[in-house]
Structure 1
Amino acid sequence: MPSIATSTLILGLPPLLLWAAHAKSLPLSYTLRSWLLLRSLIKRAQQNKFQPDPLFSILSQDHRCLFDDMDYNQHMNNSSYNKMLDFSRIQVLYTIFSRVMMEPNHGVYAHNAGVVTLFKKEIPPFQKYKMQSRVFTWSEKWLFLEHRFVFTQADNTLVVASAALSKIVFKRASGKTVTPAHVLTLCLHDLNDPLVEERRARNWKIAQNLLSLDTIFSDNHDAWDITSKL
């Protein structure tokens, strides 16, 4: 007859393995991870006295594709990319825009207004990957962030698995929009540098095409047949 310790191990091992395999999907896990990330970024910003990183800095996070990231095709699920991008946006906002995000007198809040994600290569199970993000461009209303999911293959070849753009808008509590240029200036970024404007304008030629997607909310296209049934 097995001992009490052995029985406890036998009975407790399956739940433990199940917990370990799906730790990132457990209740409150997402909230806890966000809080821990935010706490570390706030501490770093305070140590730097709210001096931001350079405007176009590439910010990185290291992750691994685990069980609760995979789908039945045995690779990272499409929805997992968008979930991870939440952590990426937090990192950018509290690193590049730390002064506005953390000094309450500004009264400016950042809102995610949309994400476009493109897939090129699958991230296989248990693969370590890096999520990279940076400021891409901006207009009078929108700030665009650029993201990449990359990993290194066995032959040391760097693979870009996915690329994405996030569309951010800054608002006051009243709902009034604050221009990205104003927010960047508040965060001590020098927008008078001709190289900054050159890069912004070049990338805007790409990003502005995404604004046409907003017409999907309009009634000026083929109407939905609300009487149709499955």
Structure 2
Amino acid sequence: MASNVPIIIKSFFFILILLNIKSFPLAYHIRTVPLILETFKNRNNNNEDRDLFQATESTYSVLFDDLDTNRHMNNSSYNKVLDHARGHFFAASFANYMWNHKVVIMQKSVLMIFNHEIPPFSNYSVYTRILTWDQKWLILTRRIIYR
């Protein structure tokens, strides 16, 4: 039956799938596998000499399925990107401590301030750093800069 479908329709659906690949079920979780592997790789590194307030850079691109009807990055896409950048920050900064003490990272709240839009298909970086902490919470700040 599949041989009766014209090649133009097959090509259209293939392109449609490629353009929306990040929106498929489990795509977010598959994208976190490299973070888990990075944490596993860095578990024996001694990060104690690392500056606690040093920012960690994560780079991303605005793809087709990140866009909204106004042709800029959708506001809901920021949460996924910032969550991924937070995982990258912890994997780079605290992998050894997290591995040895079985730390669970939970998010308490989020405050987002939108200063400008990120245009379609542009590259941008998320800089994550520690703002402050207390006995229970670690407060991070993230800044998105696009080029």
**TM-score interval, smaller chain:** 0.7 to 0.9
Equivalent-residue separation in structure 2 for 1:14 and 1:123 (angstroms): 27
Structure 1 residue 12: Cα displacement: 2.0
Pick one of 16, 19, 35 that aligns with 2:17: 19
Equivalent-residue separation in structure 1 for 2:38 and 2:137 (angstroms): 27
- Structure with the bigger RCO (C-alpha within 8 Å, sep 6+) is 2
Pick one of 86, 89, 103 that aligns with 1:108: 103
Structure 1 residue 72: Cα displacement: 1.2
Equivalent-residue separation in structure 1 for 2:17 and 2:61 (angstroms): 16
The alignment covers a number of residue pairs equal to 141
Equivalent-residue separation in structure 2 for 1:36 and 1:108 (angstroms): 19
Equivalent-residue separation in structure 1 for 2:79 and 2:90 (angstroms): 17
Equivalent-residue separation in structure 2 for 1:37 and 1:107 (angstroms): 16
Q: Confirm or deny: 8 A CA contact 2:38 2:91 kept in the other structure.
A: no
- Residue aligned with 2:118, SS: coil
Q: Tell me the residue number matched to 2:96.
A: 99
Q: Tell me the residue number matched to 1:79.
A: 76
Structure 1 residue 50: Cα displacement: 2.7
Unaligned 5+ segments in structure 2 are none
Q: Confirm or deny: 8 A CA contact 2:127 2:144 kept in the other structure.
A: yes
TM-score, normalising length from structure 1?
Answer: 0.57
Unaligned 5+ segments in structure 1 are 153-230
Q: Tell me the residue number matched to 1:88.
A: 85
Asked which structure has the greater CA Rg, the reply is 1
Equivalent-residue separation in structure 1 for 2:11 and 2:36 (angstroms): 33
Q: CA RMSD in A?
A: 1.7
